[in-house]
Amino acid sequence: MASRYDRAITVFSPDGHLFQVEYAQEAVKKGSTAVGIRGTDIVVLGVEKKSVAKLQDERTVRKICALDDHVCMAFAGLTADARVVINRARVECQSYKLTVEDPVTVEYITRFIATLKQKYTQSNGRRPFGISALIVGFDDDGIPRLYQTDPSGTYHAWKANAIGRSAKTVREFLEKNYTDDAIANDSEAIKLAIRALLEVVQSGGKNIELAIIRRNQPLKMFSAREIELQVTEIEKEKEEAEKKKSKKTT
């Protein structure tokens, strides 16, 4: 049945599927994992870094991009589609600021991106955007926000979520480990993001990129050294927990 209804974006199948949109969601799974955590006073975005060719400039291969001073996003899926969406979002952020003299709210820019994506699921001759995005930031009221959008144009607020390859595994880890203690302070929230990524990242800390936004502070990208330190601390804590467990059983 799928083969007769999956070529044109504007055609529903008899059982109500828009196959091109569903196939676009498969394209998202081809991108590497990205995880977003909403803490009490911090929002964290962690991504699995793509392997960069030897001669390629690493700075041009980024999964985390700032949309404005107080909002940033991570994406998973088609690189070129992400570039187009990010550019449109950045222009919209500035246009909004110049028009109403206030920075965008995280919800506003997420809704803008989601509406853009939805338009491409209902238009002749165009295909959906093959990306999902995690958008984080702080609004003027000081409340941290995390939203996720997908190729169908839906968006939802989350406490923590993951997109891309192995997103399901990471989400299950977050469901078990996202507790009030885990986000009690900033460093715990950062560690939670790294621990979630370590579940699926193939070569440990050197393949992780991390960005945080604290209330009233600009976006901060962690250096490789800082991430390595966090990973070492996490591994130490894991070892100590395992030692305690084995003592208890004996």
Partner 1 sequence: MAATFFGEVVKAPCRAGTEDQEEEEEGRRETAEDREVRRHLARKREVRLFRRQTKTSLEVSLLEKYPCSKFIIAIGNNAVAFLSSFVMNSGVWEEVGCAKLWNEWCRTTDKTHLSPAEAFCVFYHLKSSPSCSCYVAEDQQYQWLEKVFGSCARKNMQVTLLTCRHVTDYKTSESISSLHSPFLKALKTQNFKEPPCCSLLEQPNIVHDLPAAVLSYCQVWKIPAVLYLCYTDVMKLDLITVEAFKPILSSRSLKGLVKNIPQSTEILKKLLTTNEIQSNIYT
Q: Which residues make up the interface to partner 1 (CB under 8 A)?
A: 26-27, 29-32, 50-53, 56, 61, 63, 75-80, 82, 165-166, 168-169, 200, 202-203
Residue 61 has φ and ψ, to the nearest 5°, of: -115, 85
CB 190, CB 44: distance < 8 Å = yes
Closer residue to partner 1 (CB): 105 or 149 = 149
For the record, the structure tokens of 85 come out as 């969406």
Closer residue to partner 1 (CB): 144 or 153 = 153
Q: Which residues contact 246 (CB under 8 A, 6 or more apart)?
A: none
- The least distance separating partner 1 from the CB of residue 92, rounded to whole angstroms, comes to 22
Encode 91-154 in three state secondary structure. Answer: HHHHHHHHHHCCCCCHHHHHHHHHHHHHHCCCCCCCCCCCEEEEEEEECCCCCEEEEEECCCCC
Closer residue to partner 1 (CB): 17 or 97 = 17
- The least distance separating partner 1 from the CB of residue 147, rounded to whole angstroms, comes to 19
- The least distance separating partner 1 from the CB of residue 168, rounded to whole angstroms, comes to 6
Rg (CA), the chain: 19
- The least distance separating partner 1 from the CB of residue 99, rounded to whole angstroms, comes to 32
Closer residue to partner 1 (CB): 30 or 215 = 30
